[in-house]
Every structure is written in structure tokens, then in C-alpha cells.
Amino acid sequence: AKNSVPKDLWETYSAMANTNGGTIVLGVEERFDTDEKFDISGVESVEKMLKDFWSTINGNKVNKNILMEENVEVININHKKVIKIEIPRASYIDKPIYLNNNPYNGTYKRNYEGDYKCSQDEVNAMFRDASEKGFDSSILEYYDMDDLDMPTVNRYRNRFSVINLNHAWHNLSDEEFLIQLGAMDKDRKTKKVWLTVAGLLMFGKSTSIRSYFPYFNLDYLKMVNVDEDLRYNERFTIDGRWESNLFNFFTVVINKLSEDIPIPFKLNGITRIDDTSVHRAIREAFVNAIVHGDYSVQGTLRIKKFKDRFEFYNPGCLKIPVADIYKGGTSKCRNPFIQKMFRMIGFGENIGSGFFKILKAWKEQQWAIPILEENFATNEVVLKLNMISLVPEVYMGKLKEIYGSSLDLLNADEIKILVTAITEDEVTNARMQCVTNLHPNDITEMLRSMVNRGFLIEEGFGRGKKYMINEEFCCEESNSGLDVIGDESKGNNVEKKVVSLDDLNLNNVRLSRVEEDILKIIINDGFTSTRINSEKLEIPKHISIRACNDLIEKGLIKREGCNRATKYVLVNNNL
């Protein structure tokens, strides 16, 4: 990109705008043959390139220019000029951003591997989301009362009557009631009344829902004290035994979620109050997953209950950035008619306070901050509600065990990164945007610095990069350890007396497959390291470290050296 705007820049512009934004730098080349990742080549004709760029983006190449002048900046690096272009995430109203006047052949999105061309379903989903009215208000021609499960409608009406005493709708017929609710509507041209998308999804028969929404899927999993042999304790999913619509799924699963919540009940005088702020937050999270789901795309409305957390998955990504929701932004509901139906019976908020109530309830319990994530690769959103204490002393104690006095060298934001990483098993740039007030670029620099100093280890690349606690951290350098790792091949000369797993005195010690493979490496080579395990077993570094720590706790191996000089050997190499 020395003299002209690269042709593939526009695909990246579309991809970043349709995903979560990003940065393009012209005048920098990626290198694969050296330790230096980038080479600053610079831009020779800056004024010409800027003129061509603005002329193209305001022309017919793309359907919409979402940039402002401050998004494009000329920077001097090593006496060379580069052009930095910040691509914001496009508003849901502006999507899709596409090229060459062809949305179905010129729309791109971005995943961990780079830019890719969107499928027709993905493009149609963006067009649906651009409507402020909501797709669930659409009339479904030829879908009528025969497609509804009337027992479901009756249960809803009973709940409506209890919540809304003396309401004017009580005396209406079922059809009139459903029209008022938004579950049915009249076609202005034919004067005939048909179901809406919201009505079919909320109250429809299973076969009728699947005929219009072939990807529609519902799944609840209870996963308390599970292991490799027991994947789940209980499951409630589409199996032909019940009319699998949204209302039935909600009424069955919400009771399962509310059982055994580890919080004390409250008393009003001598009356027990079981409906606490935590119960209300769980209901809010469940309703949010339902009303934000895109049931026209592949995916599952999935709810998971663990011993110490809840996870709520819905198909389709968010309309606004995750960070904006944490900062108090009003989330844009994908299914406002379904949202209204839940609100009319006392569930859900429609004024943007729902997520705030979830955050508040978890803060009251001193539990970890809820995690809201978008996964553009799988096209789904997940909300994780961890019931793990966030008392600083508990986790600071764990961090001090790992990092020792080196912890005192970190600033408050770096400590916050480590606390988040140890409580949630990993941390990302996007997550820290929700936890801190730092700019994404500042977070990137801070995470990179913590990796370079050995506090964190990283996995993945680009927006898929994750950071984990470095449990091999050592605050004092070990010369002996460095000497050993200086030539890892020397490990082959270590006299080996244990020649197989059968030679180890395991005493019924239960090992995972990864642990067995690590032991085999040590037996064969005399030692192993995180890098060796990752390369030979093709596993992430943090999985290798955890497996080695488990083997240490089981008394089978020991750690020698520290930081990058860390190696693992058998505790007893004698038969």
C-alpha cells in the first residue's frame, strides 16, 4: 500500500463494519519470516492515497460511508508515514455494508481467520434487524388459529388475568385477545386475520413452528456435578412430548432455574419471601435471551444450569456493542412483540433497565460481574451469571501465591485484569472494555505488556485472542533452570528407569488423557515443558499448565526452573 489503496481494503471495510469494527493501517506489512511481526514500509503518496480513498468510499464502491474525518489519521513511525483508518461497528440500521451494489455477493463479515463473504441467510438477517418495527410483527399468510396450541393460549390468559385484574381484554374472544396482544393481525389488503411471527413462536404448535422456522431449537441442560461419563443431570428439549413453543419452554424451565439458588430467603415480618432480586435477575436474563433471539438462523435457544453459574445462549448477535450495554446503553430488542407479551404477564423490561437489574443483583451478592459476549463465528450471544464470590481477599491471596512480591509492581488496572482472569479462567480485550474505562488500544498495550513480563499467557490471534493466568510464573530467576532449558535436547541424555505408565505406582490415581500423554512425554524424554506439550499434543498452553499442576498435586511430577525456564520431571524416576 505504498502508492495506491489496496483493492482488498474494501472487503475488510465491509467485514469490520458488519462485525465489531477494527483498525486498518496502510503502509505496514506483515512479516512471516522473522521474529518481527510487522515491517514499516510507509506510504509514499499520502495526499493522493487519501484523495482516492475518500473519493472511492463516497462513490459507488460501497453502499454507505460510515466514516468521519477523525476516523482517518496520518501517523509518523520511524520517519515514515502510515495511514490509520478506524472502522467503527455499523449501526444495525445501516447494515449490511456491502460492495458493488450487490448485497448478496458483496457483503462481508469477520471471524478469527479473517474476512469472509456472507451467506444469503446472514445478509437477510441484517436486513431484518434494520427494521425498527421488528420482524416478529410480520404477518404470516395462511397461518391461523389452527396453528396455535390452545392449551398454551389458555395458560397465558390465566396468567394475564391474575396479573391484570379488571383489564378490558378479559371478556374478549381468543382471536380478539390475540389481535390486541399482537399475536394475530389483519391483512389490510385481503381483510383476513393471520398469525404474526410473535404469535406463532409464542403459542404455536411444534409442527407449525418448524414449517416456518426450520432451524428453531430449544434446549435446557442441568449440568451440576457432571464429569466425563455424565454429561448432564437433566435435559428438556424438543422431543415430541410437548408443544415446543416459547411460552411453554419458559414456564417449564424457569422453575428449574429457580431451584436450589444458593442465597438465603428474606422475611417480611414472619412471612418468607422467596422472590429475591437474584430470582428476578435470572428471570430477566431468560426473557432477554428469548426476546433477542433470531429464530430464522441456525442456532439454539440454550439454557445451562451449573452448580455455580447460569448460561443463557440465544441465536443471533446483538444490535448494539456489548460495551455500550454495560455502560447503560439501551439494547435494541429483536422481537418487541414477544417482549410485550412477556411484559404483560409481569416478566421482562422494555425500557432498557433489565440488564442493569441483573448487574445490580449480582453486585449485591458480591458475585463476579456477569459476562455478556457475542460470538460472531457461531452467530450467538451468551450471558454467563457466575455465582462466584468476588471478595478481593480471596482472589488476591491466590494471586499472591502465584506472583509473590511481583504483584506489587502492577497498577490498579493490571490487578483488575488478573482478578478477572483468575475468576473467569480467561480475559479478553472486549471483556476488559466492560470492566474498565480504558480505550481498547490502551487495553491491548497493557495485555501485551503483561504477556511480555510473564504475568499472562496468550492463546489465539486477532479478536479471538484470550489471556490466561501464568501459573508457571516465578518472581525469582533461576540460573539452574535457564541452564537446563538452554538446550532442551539434553533431556534425552537423562537416564530413564521408568519406561512406561505401568511402571509408575499410580495406586488407583485417576488420570485424564492429557495427563497420561504428558507423563508419556516425560518418560520418553526425561522432562517436558509447556511449549513441548503444546506442540506435541496440540493443546493450548493454559491446558498444559493446568494438567501439569494437577499431576504435581497427585504427587507424580515436580516443577524445576521458573518462567520460560520451567520444566517438569518425574518425582521418582526409579522403579
In which order are the strands placed within the sheet that holds 184-186?
139-140, 193-196, 184-186
Q: How far apart are the first and last CA of the chain?
A: 63
pLDDT score, position 496: 45
pLDDT band at 184 (very low <50, low <70, confident <90, very high): very high
Within a domain: 208: yes
Kindly state the DSSP code that residue 498 receives in the 8-state scheme.
Answer: -
Among residues of the chain, what percentage have pLDDT more than 70?
A: 87
**CATH at 274:** 3.30.565.60
* pLDDT tens per residue, range 44-91: 889 999 999 999 999 999 999 999 999 999 999 888 899 999 999 999
When pLDDT is averaged across residues 195-205 and rounded to a whole number, the result is 98
pLDDT score, position 554: 85
Both 373 and 439 in a single domain?
Answer: no
Within a domain: 91: yes
Here the cell at position 282 is 435470572
Listed in sequence order, the residues at least 6 apart from 290 whose beta carbon sits closer than 8 Å to its beta carbon are 246, 250, 301, 314, 335, 338, 342
Kindly state the DSSP code that residue 471 receives in the 8-state scheme.
Answer: T
Domain tally for the chain?
Answer: 5
pLDDT band at 494 (very low <50, low <70, confident <90, very high): very low
Other Cβ atoms within 10 Å of 319 Cβ, number: 17
pLDDT score, position 574: 53
Domain extent at residue 198: 135-212
How far is 252 from 243, CA to CA, in rounded Å? 12
Look at residue 263 and tell me whether its pLDDT is greater than 70. no
pLDDT score, position 210: 96
* pLDDT tens per residue, range 351-407: 556 888 899 999 888 888 899 999 988 899 999 999 877 655 667 788 888 888 888
Of 159, 327, 384, nearest in space to 251 by CA:
159
Q: Last residue of a domain, which of 469, 503, 518?
A: 469
Listed in sequence order, the residues at least 6 apart from 514 whose beta carbon sits closer than 8 Å to its beta carbon are 537, 539, 543, 544, 547
* pLDDT tens per residue, range 436-466: 778 888 898 899 889 888 899 888 766 678 8
Determine contact, residues 379/315, Cβ cutoff 8 Å.
yes
Amino acid occupying residue 162: V
Both 174 and 280 in a single domain?
Answer: no
In terms of DSSP H, where are the helices of 164-245?
Answer: 174-181, 197-203, 206-212
pLDDT score, position 573: 63
Strand pairing category for 234-237 and 139-140: unpaired
Amino acid occupying residue 546: R
Within a domain: 549: yes
Determine contact, residues 515/550, Cβ cutoff 8 Å.
yes
* pLDDT tens per residue, range 24-48: 999 988 765 555 567 788 888 899 9
Both 308 and 449 in a single domain?
Answer: no
Here the cell at position 506 is 499410580
**Farthest CA pair distance, the chain:** 89
Determine contact, residues 124/139, Cβ cutoff 8 Å.
no
**CATH at 402:** 1.10.10.10
- Bin 30: left if φ > 0, else alpha if -120 < ψ < 50, else beta: beta
Within a domain: 126: no
Q: Last residue of a domain, which of 338, 369, 386?
A: 386
Look at residue 208 and tell me whether its pLDDT is greater than 60. yes
- Per the prediction, the chain carries an average pLDDT of 86
Both 224 and 369 in a single domain?
Answer: yes
Listed in sequence order, the residues at least 6 apart from 450 whose beta carbon sits closer than 8 Å to its beta carbon are 414, 417, 456, 467
Determine contact, residues 133/225, Cβ cutoff 8 Å.
no
Amino acid occupying residue 293: G
Both 263 and 344 in a single domain?
Answer: yes
Both 340 and 446 in a single domain?
Answer: no
Listed in sequence order, the residues at least 6 apart from 212 whose beta carbon sits closer than 8 Å to its beta carbon are 140, 143, 200
Both 202 and 237 in a single domain?
Answer: no
Here the cell at position 341 is 407479551
Look at residue 161 and tell me whether its pLDDT is greater than 80. yes
Selection from 169-173, 225-229, 478-482, 485-489 with the highest mean pLDDT: 169-173
pTM: 0.73
Look at residue 313 and tell me whether its pLDDT is greater than 70. yes
When pLDDT is averaged across residues 281-286 and rounded to a whole number, the result is 94
Both 45 and 117 in a single domain?
Answer: yes
pLDDT score, position 264: 57
Look at residue 116 and tell me whether its pLDDT is greater than 50. yes
Both 90 and 106 in a single domain?
Answer: yes
Q: Last residue of a domain, which of 436, 469, 502?
A: 469
